[in-house]
Each structure stands twice: as structure tokens, then as C-alpha cells.
Amino acid sequence: MTKLTMKVLVIGAHGKTGLRVVRRLREGGHDPLAMIRTPEQRKVFDELGVSTVLGDLEYPIDHAVRGCDAVIFAAGSGSKTGKDKTVLVDHLGAIRSMVAAAMNGAKRYVMLSSFRSGTNSDSPIKHYNRAKGRADEFLRTMHEVMEDALDWTIVCPGGLTEDEATEQVSVSLVTGVEPEGSSKTSRENLAAVLVASLDQPATVGKTFTLFEGDTPIREALRSLG
Ligand SMILES: NC(=O)c1ccc[n+]([C@@H]2O[C@H](COP(=O)([O-])OP(=O)(O)OC[C@H]3O[C@@H](n4cnc5c(N)ncnc54)[C@H](OP(=O)(O)O)[C@@H]3O)[C@@H](O)[C@H]2O)c1
């Protein structure tokens, strides 16, 4: 398959996964644009030679996505904020970014979601999993309400770790309402999968779980087709 160079907005670029995504985009010949929340966060990207844009999911981000071919969403309100932020960032902020992407010409959207996310999730952190599930559901169905739909992919990892990249994973299409599983996923492998999904047609229109495994990433993603 022809390798395309894309300008990719990374939302949550200063996060533990987002920064890895930015690095891998650079290594893969793409042109990342790191969305950050404060000017102090620029330093690490300046050192990488990566452009930044200030943006906050609680406010319009059209300026950030304009001119981008694709969006990778790696943001999250985190476990230290209240449930209000779960709604404002993980649910409504995510949807805001999808609409902004579609309205501003970005055709491709890759969402970092989570196992156990679903609109009726009964997990121990169901407020979070339901918020993610609602945002994911909007992404899957937005073509029904908007003319400018997106080629979407939803990646549902397990508990995130700081383990080194193995470049080998296990993926499984989500067929029920809630992605099942309880395994771990390294942020390194996750970042690799988020980036590799961009130009892997077999991942378009798919929701899949991602755990550590023994299948090389490209082969695993191709198997989703
Ligand atoms: N932890 C897990 O085990 C687990 C499992 C499955 C899925 N996930 C999902 O994976 C995501 C990424 O994990 P991580 O460990 O990489 O998270 P992280 O290090 O906490 O990074 C989250 C990023 O989101 C950004 N952010 C927060 N609120 C924002 C807002 N209003 N506008 C724009 N950006 C905002 C943060 O910005 P600042 O840097 O400015 O704070 C940060 O850069 C999580 O948020 C979660 O949804 C996590």
C-alpha cells in the first residue's frame, strides 16, 4: 500500500500516550501538530521540531484542526478531576473535536477509547466509560446527521502501562455494546497502533480492543479487514 504523508493534529499531545504518538508520527514521516493547553508545554515539542497549537477541548478548536488531514485523539480528563470534567472533556470535548474535524476538512479520525467503554457500561468507573461510550457512539453514527463524515477508527486498550514497545499485539473487533477484556496495553504499543491505523484501510469504520499479544502490529491491523 502507498504510504501517505499526513498532517495530523494530536489532541492530548503532552500526555503520556500523546507524546509517544507525536514521536511515532515523526518517525513514520508524517507531519504532527501537537495540541497543548499551555505555552509552557511547547518546550518538548520545540526540541523535537514539532509544531504546536494551543487548544482546549472545553472551547472551540476549529483553529487547531484547520489544514489537518487527520486527528488522533489521545486526551483525557484523567482520574484526578471531577465527573464534570469527564463530561466536558471525554464526552462533549471529544464530540466537539469530531465535529471540528469534519467541518474543517480532516477526513481521518482515530480515537483512543478504552475497554469497557459503552453507553450502558456498568464498570467500576462507569461515569468515565459511559462518557467515552457516548463519544464513540457519536463518531460511529455522525454520518447520519452530518454531511461531512469522517473515516473513523476506535481503539480500545486495556490498562495502560509504561512497558517498552514489543510491536506485537492482540486485536479483536468489538461486536457487542461494550469492549470486553481485562488485559494490559503498553502506551508504546498503543501509540504505534494509533499511528499505524491512520493509513491502514482495514481499520476504517472499526472498533477494536488492543492488548499485548504476539502478532506484529501491521499484521494485526490488516486482520481486521
Ligand atoms: N490509564 C489507563 O489505564 C487507560 C486505559 C484505557 C484508556 N485510557 C485512555 O487513554 C487516555 C490517555 O492516557 P494517558 O495516560 O496518556 O493520559 P495523560 O497522560 O493523562 O494525558 C491526557 C492528556 O489530555 C490532555 N487534556 C486534558 N484535558 C484536556 C482539555 N480540556 N483539552 C485538551 N487536552 C486535555 C492533558 O493535557 P495536560 O497535559 O495539559 O494536562 C494530557 O496531555 C486517558 O485519558 C484515557 O481516556 C486510559
Q: Which of 155, 160, 210 to mutate to test the pocket of ligand 1 (most atoms within 8 A of CB)?
A: 160
pLDDT in tens, 107-143: 999 999 999 999 999 889 999 999 999 999 999 999 9
Q: What is the pLDDT of residue 176?
A: 72
> The domain at 7-222 falls in which architecture?
3-Layer(aba) Sandwich (3.40)
State in Å: Cα 85 to ligand 1 middle: 12
From the candidates 115, 128, 138, 211, which is the catalytic residue? 128
Say how many Å lie between the CA of residue 138 and the centre of ligand 1.
20
CA gap 94, 52 in Å, rounded:
19
**Of ligand 1's atoms, which has the minimum distance to the CA of residue 159?**
3
Task: For residue range 173-221, list pLDDT tens digits in order.
Answer: 998 766 666 689 999 999 999 999 999 999 999 999 999 999 999 999 9
Residue 180: per-residue pLDDT: 67
Please tell me the distance from the alpha carbon of residue 68 to that of residue 147, in angstroms, as a whole number: 18
DSSP string covering 34-103, please? EEESSGGGHHHHHHHT-EEEE--TTS--HHHHTT-SEEEE-----TTS-HHHIIIIIIIIHHHHHHHHHH
Give pLDDT, residue 177.
64
Mean pLDDT computed over 84-105: 97
Mean pLDDT, rounded, of the chain: 95
| H or E stretch at 33 | strand 31-36
- Residues 73, 111: contact at Cβ < 8 Å? yes
Q: Which three cell numbers stand for residue 168?
A: 506485537
- Interatomic CA distance for residues 143 and 145, integer angstroms: 5
Q: Is 128 a catalytic residue?
A: yes
Q: Which residue's CA is the closest to the ligand 1 atom numbered 8? A: 114
Going by DSSP bridges, is the β-strand pair 206-212/168-173 parallel, antiparallel, or unpaired? antiparallel
- Over 90: is that where the pLDDT of 66 sits? yes
Separation of 139 CA from ligand 1 center, angstroms? 19
- 187 secondary structure, DSSP code: H
> What is the pTM for the complete model shown?
0.97
Residues near 72 by beta carbon (within 8 Å), at least 6 away in sequence: 8, 9, 10, 11, 21, 25, 110, 112, 194, 195, 198
Query: Ligand 1: distance of its center to the CA of 97 in Å?
Result: 15
Phi, psi at residue 38, to the nearest 5°?
-135, 150
Beta carbons of 17 and 191 less than 8 angstroms apart: yes
